[in-house]
Structure 1
Amino acid sequence: LSHHLRTEKEIFDKLRSLEFNNATIKAANARLKDEKYLDDKIYAENFVRTQANLQAAGPLVISQKLKLVGIPNTDIEAALAVYETNDQMENALSLAEKYQKHYSKNSIIKQKQKINQALYAKGYDSDLIKATIDKLVFEEDNQQQLENARRTINH
């Protein structure tokens, strides 16, 4: 508990691995909850804020990660409610701009595909991804397009 917040499932799994019986584990969890050291709702809220602010993760990835550590769906939904669409759009747009620079040597179609894939992998839904890509400005670089075509033909 001293390093960071834990979930009830994490405590259960750790104590189980140390071969404590179920009654002892339940008593330990109950005491930790009573003393406010263990709260899955607070864990979920902090996790959502951290993932959104530091990782720019989308709600789908955050939800999956919370499920893996045993957070109930109701707590996940409540925690994700704080991650507003505007904040998601801001994070997705920042990521998309970064990916756009990274894939700038590709054709515009390829850039859009790569950005779409990257944002999807980060956990954003398709509607938000489409809206994000629509906000980007793509410029045709005719010289780069010609080099891409030559490279494709020569391979």
Structure 2
Amino acid sequence: MRYLTILAGCLAAGLALAPAAHAQDGGLTVELNKFEEIDGGGCRAFFLFRNATKTGFDGFEMSLAILDKNGVIDRLLSIDAAPLPVARTTLKLFEIPETSCANISEILLHELTSCRPQNAEEMDCFPILTLNSKTSAALVK
């Protein structure tokens, strides 16, 4: 009887961890795909989110530091990219006000303020995250 209680406890613990483990089966790629100058000033950034995990994300928020051509932090920007459906690529556009695209040398992902798989608790997504950029600015963590 005691063995069954321990076994049931282990199974319950395994099921509780299943969403986080499930999310790590594949990877999540964030790509800075394109910059576009905004009339009147500012820069529009096109991000592609490639969710190759086995779960969707109801929450995915990033805090970014925008560095200028001298490597100095120009501003902080918080973006909400959720939802990120399972096995899909999602395009999200974000505006960086009062900053020319040509003046951005690097975008630093310094914090994931939310990474919440569907029907699960927040998790640390840094281990499953890959960043890349097709622009003149690097996207780094």
TM-score, normalising length from structure 1? 0.25
Larger Rg: 1
More strand per residue: 1 or 2?
Answer: 2
Structure 1 or 2: more helix by fraction: 1
